[in-house]
Amino acid sequence: MARLTPEQLEQKIHAVLREQPTRKAPISLEARVLGEIARRQALPWWHKSYVYWPNPVKLLFLVLATGVAAGVLLYSMQVLGLVSGDVLKQVFEPVMGAINTLRVISSALLGWVKPAVMGVSATYLYAALAILGGAYAIMLGLGATAYRVLWQHR
């Protein structure tokens, strides 16, 4: 038997493989694949990878993760003696100023809204809550009905 070059060997292997009959997939394969696709689509976003998270949640996660990482880094630098407490105070001073500003704004808004809410009868609040709950239930029912009528049998 003569020695074959890698190209000739590749051509012979491809010729033999092309002559092989195609194998049929198991009958249950399609149902299993479609079932797995449906199962993965039904998962809530927090069980999926980061790519499928809603954009506001991604942003919040990035902000929180960056804050935690910065806090751990600054704390470890202070423990190791690389940074003094005065430097940390200067770093966090703008953050504390922003938090205090938000606190003042929220208390001002609460002071503005509280008298208006306190003047409303509890009966009206319960009625508004019942109307909102009923509207939510109607929208869920209409959505489920529309899905069953329009999309389920396709």
Tell whether 17 is covered by a domain: no
pLDDT digits (tens, 9 = 90+) for 57-84: 999 999 999 989 988 888 888 778 777 7
Inside any domain, residue 104 = yes
Q: What pLDDT is attached to residue 86?
A: 78
Tell me if 87 sits within 8 A of 74, measured CB to CB: no
Structure tokens at 49: 């990878």
Residue type, 125: L
C-alpha–C-alpha distance, residues 60 and 54, integer Å: 10
Range of the domain at 77: 50-83
Whether the Cβ atoms of residue 52 and residue 45 lie closer than 8 Å to each other = yes
Whether 100 and 76 share a structural domain = no
Same domain, 115 and 133: no
Residues 152 and 124 in one domain: yes
Is 21 part of a structural domain of the chain?
Answer: no
The pTM of the full predicted model, rounded to 2 decimals, is: 0.39
The verdict on 110 and 133 lying in the same domain is no
Is residue 125 domain-resident? yes
Q: What is the pLDDT of residues 23-36, one digit of tens each?
A: 888 888 988 999 99
Q: Are residues 103 and 128 in the same domain?
A: no
Domain final position from 62, 83, 104: 83
Q: Which residues lie below 8 Å from residue 153, measured CB to CB, with a gap of 6+?
A: none
Number of domains the chain is built from: 3
Structure confidence at residue 152 (pLDDT): 67
Same domain, 128 and 153: yes
In a domain, 126, yes or no: yes
What phi, psi does 151 have (nearest 5°)? Answer: -120, -25
Stretches where the chain sits below pLDDT 70 are 1, 152-154
pLDDT for 106: 92
Is 110 part of a structural domain of the chain?
A: yes
Angle, CA 78 vertex, CA 73 and CA 81 arms, to 5°: 125
Q: Report if residue 25 sits inside a domain.
A: no
Could you tell me if residue 11 is inside a domain? no
